Amino acid sequence: MDYHIENIFPTPIYYSFLEENLFLKIQSEIERYLLTNKFDEKNASTYYITTETFKEDIIREQNFYNLEQELDKHIKNYCKEINFEYKNYNRQSWITLLQQGQRIDSHNHGYVHMSGVYYYSGSQDTAKLIFQTPVPSARSSICYYNSHYHWSHPAIPGKILLFPGWLTHGVWFNDSLDSRISLAFNITFYD
């Protein structure tokens, strides 16, 4: 008997790790900022963040040149893989800190074309990024109930993730004593 399974409507998640030399340069760029700036404590019960409006671009404002150049390369790679012609874009970016016991509730960035994150600090066990299925109605059938409802990615320093802005995601509680610091961003391509 010959049969096949076609996994239709895939959700492309892109990830890559920086090479050591570039990793050290980018870590240094971000560290300079972290040593001289404070996080907004408005949401401190769940997480710390460098923005209230999500309109800023900390990458450009703080001249994270190496990170900016590297992200652009990965955005081009991702566009190629999803068969989308790379275009100039607008970007918003911010830094988030999660200490022990903190989390980020599930949300999406539906108005943007692409979202992503770069991990400055974290570990295999530190507050994983959780993606939820874009097909939640599949859970209503006992046939598919045990299929993956969510997918997680550990917060490993030097890791870059790109994903559709409409994909619901959040961050599990940070049970570790280690802080999880990430630089997140949104991309909106120009027409």
Look at residue 127 in the predicted model and tell me its pLDDT.
85
State how far the Cα of 132 lies from the Cα of 144, in Å rounded to an integer: 15
What pLDDT, on the 0 to 100 scale, is given for residue 46?
Answer: 82
Say whether pLDDT at 59 is over 80: yes
Residue 147 confidence (pLDDT): 64
**Exposure letters 68-87 (e unless 16+ CB within 10 A, then b):** bebbeebbeebbeeeeeeee
Tokens read off for 8: 């239709």
Q: For the domain made up of 14-189, give the CATH fold.
A: Jelly Rolls (2.60.120)
User: Tens digits of per-residue pLDDT, 129-149?
Assistant: 999 888 777 667 777 666 667
Q: What's the pLDDT band for 42 if we cut at 50, 70, 90?
A: low
User: Would you state the pLDDT for residue 44?
Assistant: 67
Return the ∠ at Cα 131 (arms to 111 and 102), rounded to 5°: 95
pTM recorded for the entire structure: 0.91
Sign of torsion over alpha carbons 156, 48, 169, 163? negative
